[in-house]
Structure 1
């Protein structure tokens, strides 16, 4: 999204306090998207979101993961999502709204005391269950427009969207895959959720009625989407063996 105010960058000594500042407008809008308890405030955002079955939550609790052990390796310790939910439920089963980048005005070295003409942010939503991406996009845009001053404007630049996919927790395909993985790895497999932008998988389910089994392999310290991202050869080789076991199990 891009918020536009004056027709050019302005000198803050000449226009400060009088001219609208798009950086301030954008920052306020982004801050309004979450309440003090970490819930998304966009109207209708949670439509279609289901609660995680108690037996699944118990299986996650049995893993012994805490906010400190989960966030500690990345230098954090306090969850920022919905209060009252574990870090595993927040990341595996709950929807989220995140800000992936923000820019505006002068960002070079030294000072240039301007009031920027525009400011932009990249915003993404991780959807779950039966959330409708088009409805959420429309609700988000309405949410933003309501907060734009009358003499300013906002432009939206969509990058696509797809509904979430979810297999039934008692899916026979899921059960066979879990057994196959448990045969290959030293610890029993656990059903989890994950955010991943693979829209074609949603199309398989929506248009073809075909369920997709997503099984990936990696380690917590692979630094996905970060500098020095890596991938261990052990994940590659045991991943090959795991898929051989899964495919064999599915044919029975």
Structure 2
């Protein structure tokens, strides 16, 4: 698959952290009695968070040796959202953004998530729109993240234009 497809439209499974055994200074020649991992998944399309969670747990349990056990601690889950490229909401937002910014707006898929958005879409039965104003060098969620004031101010004006377009 292409890099864009992987980034925009494919599910992911991430290991956010692994720890276990002796973690202090130096080393110890012991076999760890306990190990932990924190994982997350990016869902796409109509994937069901509960079904993905159950499948992952079943897979892990199927790989455990007979003398081992596993515990899972849930940290929530949310469905993905998906908008058709010809969605009237998306079309109006794209036009409004193009009126605010010097270059025409483009529609891209994005792997980011805000879990409540999928719930809003499902519960309210309406399309949800996520619009980002970050720049490619903002390094979102990294230790040296930044955000330009110009993006902030133009983002405010952009949302005014989007809401006006959707209300029309």
TM-score class, shorter: over 0.9
Superposed displacement of residue 210, structure 1:
2.1
Partners of 1:90 and 1:195 lie apart in 2 by: 9
Structure 2: segments with no counterpart, 5+ residues: none
Superposed displacement of residue 205, structure 1:
1.7
1:162 is aligned, of 66, 78, 99, to 78
1:140 is aligned, of 56, 61, 75, to 56
The structure having more radius of gyration, on CA atoms, is 1
Q: Is the 8 A contact 2:16 2:37 kept in 1?
A: yes
The corresponding residue for 2:102 is 186
Runs of 4+ in 1 over 3 A off after TM superposition: none
1:116 aligned counterpart, secondary structure: coil
TM-score of the aligned structures, taking structure 2 as reference length = 0.94
1:196-246 deviations in Å (ceiling 9; x for gaps):
342221122212212211112111222222112211111101111111211
Superposed displacement of residue 194, structure 1:
2.0
Superposed displacement of residue 187, structure 1:
2.0
2:26 aligned counterpart, secondary structure: coil
Q: State whether structure 2 residue 24 is matched by structure 1 residue 104.
A: no
Superposed displacement of residue 149, structure 1:
0.5
2:63 aligned counterpart, secondary structure: coil
In the TM superposition, 1:2-13 aligns within 5 A as none
1:239 is aligned, of 129, 134, 155, to 155
Size of the alignment, in residue pairs? Answer: 168
